[in-house]
Structure 1
Amino acid sequence: MSNAPSTEDLRIWLIQRVASYLEKDPSDISPSVSLTQYGLDSVYAFVMCGDIEDHLDLRLEPTVAWDYRTIDALADHLTTLVDRRAGGAG
């Protein structure tokens, strides 16, 4: 039985991660703003990809932060992946 996080759970988690990388308060991070506008570079994108993989036990392409440019888009994509995995595991 899976205890998959909701899109909102993932959005909050991603906001906290990005805020941590950028040494900002989570309230300063908008989920609808492009990650590149916050100065998230390729190093942080790679680290974030690894953190997501660890958090969700998923394998991701390292370009995921560029393919889904906002936290909202990334959270939606991750929810789809988690749901697909849960459906395929049963």
Structure 2
Amino acid sequence: MTDTPGQDDGQRLFGQLRRLQAEAEAAAAALEAGDSHARLNALVLQDELKRLLEQLKAGRDAAASELSRLTQASSSASAYMRCGAAMARSR
């Protein structure tokens, strides 16, 4: 599989997501144990997760837009090829 420009960003974001998931699990355990700082840490973690989710959504939207653009370009190229073939046959 070839690398695409956004692939590194996606790998980085999913790495952050895995890290935050582990931190969330640790924070949940600390909350259950009654750690007084766990509530603040959980709120900070929640903000990080929201920010990461927004970045993932933006990446998804950018990928969908690029796919749409490429699909339109492919359709246009196919139409030009069919037109060229029809013109060549008519000569």
Higher normalized contact order (CA 8 Å, seq sep 6+, divided by chain length): 1
In the superposition, the TM-score normalised over structure 1's length comes to: 0.30
In the superposition, the TM-score normalised over structure 2's length comes to: 0.30
More helix per residue: 2
